[in-house]
Amino acid sequence: MSVSNDVSGWPSLFQPRSMDPMLDLDIDVHSLPKEVNPPDFWQERAACYGLDPEVFFPTTEEEAGLALSYCGVCSVREVCLAWAIQNGERYGVWGGTTEQQRRRLIRHVA
Ligand code: SF4
């Protein structure tokens, strides 16, 4: 049985090369919003609103799949990722990225 990686409905900013959270995403960090309000302004519109925060702080990258699935349908994903990057959020899943993925993104644009 094959698993489809067709994510053509996703915004172009978030075209993953693979559904494997260990692999990089094709994210144009420069296209993210430049000025972002804190989560208090947008968290009520988030797909993760009201969920157990522990889901978004997995102990390993491999356990991030459930959190990433919420991010995949989240209407504030770009804002969330921009906030995380601009504020140096080191831990947890933000904006459809794991901790390692964000570190790679930041290194890539530094
Ligand atoms: S992108 Fe993910 S972590 Fe960020 S608000 Fe949406 S569901 Fe929550």
3-state secondary structure of 78: helix
Shortest-distance atom of ligand 1 to CA 70: 7
Shortest-distance atom of ligand 1 to CA 73: 7
Q: Is ligand 1 within 6 A of the CB of residue 76?
A: yes
CB 96 within 8 A of CB 14: yes
Q: How many CB atoms lie within 10 A of CB 12?
A: 10
Q: What is the pLDDT of residues 7-62, one digit of tens each?
A: 344 444 554 444 444 445 778 888 999 999 999 999 999 999 999 999 999 999 99
Instruction: Supply the residue whose CA is at minimum distance from atom 5 of ligand 1.
Output: 46
Q: Is ligand 1 within 6 A of the CB of residue 84?
A: no
Q: Is ligand 1 within 6 A of the CB of residue 47?
A: yes
- State pTM to two decimals: 0.79
CB 21 within 8 A of CB 65: yes
The angle subtended at Cα 59 by Cα 54 and Cα 65, nearest 5°, is 75
